[in-house]
Structure 1
């Protein structure tokens, strides 16, 4: 079985989006070693450079590079199952760490009227590609969001830290063990035929992005097939589910460049 792990920093105990050196490896090394046993093949998508690719060669393949919303679907399409680890909550949720990579300029995203953050986008893509997300781990707000995305069959959900206040920078007790136990349960459930299924999205896909300023909305509204619908809001409609990520990737790139 080929297992994809999509890794982000904000859902780990951290300060200003930068976990202490070695902390993410402390979580990920035993996890990747366990998942690589038997005939399993493990691939880690690490756009923020949290892991040392050479140090993990014994257990998995680490795909590094700049953050890009378009990279993950290609990896997901070649995988049998996916795990989302270290993810932040949706845009606009209160949390201890501020999202990076263009997210700081986005107040909210809706797809077909449903509020959606980074986890929601990955689950949306997994449903289109028929690659089940079997485990989600991050801060508690992200876990609340994940629970709302699924119907009867849900993935294993692990809280690694709290979202608010001073405790948002501290790991919950037993964080590594919780993640390991969660991964074991996720693999066992999948082997037993229990596949998490998110609530379905049906075309046409209507995407609404709320930005932090009218200037950003002006810039994003210049994208093809998009239109300004409010002072800081831009909408986009398509029949192609992959156009949703293309539009959001372009909007985030514009927002990040203008902000910096």
Structure 2
């Protein structure tokens, strides 16, 4: 069995503020230590249930260089750094039996939800065939395209509820209850890790019963973005600016093409100008 763990930071227990997730802020080292510990707890649960599992961990927050490598469980391999194919799902392929989301957060505009956004603060909304999705939906659909269900999600209660709408069979572990964008009632990290170990083991045992979330056929990507990102995006063949000024549209042949375009547009919004 091959498991890919995609690890973000905003949904980690105890984390509620950008100062804890931004490498340039004072409390980041604490945030990355908490993130690493939660990933290790999930690994322990996976390998307790499936000792021979092949486990990859995709560092999927910000620069993709957050997990403290020397403190990561030595039984796994780490996908680190960016840019890379498939972004937050680096390491995903047709051999992947299941994906687990750890430290995930709700989409932009959701609330109450801790540190809710979609890929970057420059994205106001992102839609596939008219339905709004955040990182959870985009990544679940991309995993599903490769035949892999999302077996586990850990984050605040809003993130767990967001995935439950798309994949009712997924094991959810809410490590905090959102009170707002930068406030939550959070479990003690040690308690959160206990629940993550148990949840990951249960998720491994239920993989065969979870249906992958899929979006098949042609896909229209729409994104509402800030400022000059619209101007840059419309330089890409096929991308159109819609009435209103800040919405762009792209007719994709399939989900992977829409996903890659979304990653590119997000990256354009982060280019220094």
TM over 0.5: yes
TM-score normalised according to structure 2 size: 0.83
Alignment partner of 1:83 out of 100, 107, 115: 100
Matches within 5 A, 1:3-82: 3-12=3-12, 13-14=14-15, 15-16=17-18, 17-18=20-21, 20-21=30-31, 22-37=33-48, 38-47=51-60, 48-56=64-72, 58-66=74-82, 68=84, 70-73=86-89, 75-77=91-93, 78-82=95-99
Give the equivalent residue in structure 2 for 1:160: 175
Residues 1:221 and 2:234 are matched in the alignment: yes
Task: Provide, for residues 34-56 of structure 1, a one-character-per-residue CA deviation record: whole Å limited to 9, x for no partner.
Answer: 42352112110014333222332
Q: Secondary structure of 2:36's partner? A: helix
In structure 1, distance between residues paired with 2:255 and 2:85:
13
Question: 250, 257, 260: which is aligned to 2:264?
Answer: 250
Shift of 1:162: 2.7
Cα offset for 1:79?
A: 1.7
Aligned to 1:171: 186
Residue 57 of structure 1: how far off its partner (Å): 5.1
TM-score between the two structures when normalised by the length of structure 1: 0.87
Instruction: Specify every segment of 5 or more residues in structure 2 that has no aligned partner in the other structure, as ranges.
Output: 22-27
Distance (Å, rounded) in 2 between the aligned partners of 1:144 and 1:129: 23
1:196 shift after superposition? 2.9
2:79, 2:91 within 8 Å by CA — same for their partners in 1?
no
Q: Does 1:96 align with 2:111?
A: no
Equivalent pair of 1:140/1:162 in contact (CA under 8 Å): yes
Cα distance in 1 for partners of 2:240, 2:203 equals 41
Whole-Å Cα distance in 2 between the matches of residues 161 and 74 of structure 1?
26
In 2, Cα distance between the equivalents of 1:24 and 1:106? 24
Aligned residues: 252
Residues 121-169 of structure 1 deviation map (CA, whole Å, 9 limit, x = unaligned): 111111111012111111222112111113xx52111112233349735
Structure 1 contact 10–86 (Cα < 8 Å) conserved: yes
C-alpha contact 2:127 2:222 (8 A) present in aligned 1: yes
Over the aligned positions, Cα root-mean-square deviation in angstroms equals: 2.4
Q: String of CA shifts for 1:59-105, please: whole Å, max 9, x gaps.
A: 211111136562455522132111011111112224332658x6100
Q: Higher mean Cα deviation, 71-80 or 202-211?
A: 71-80
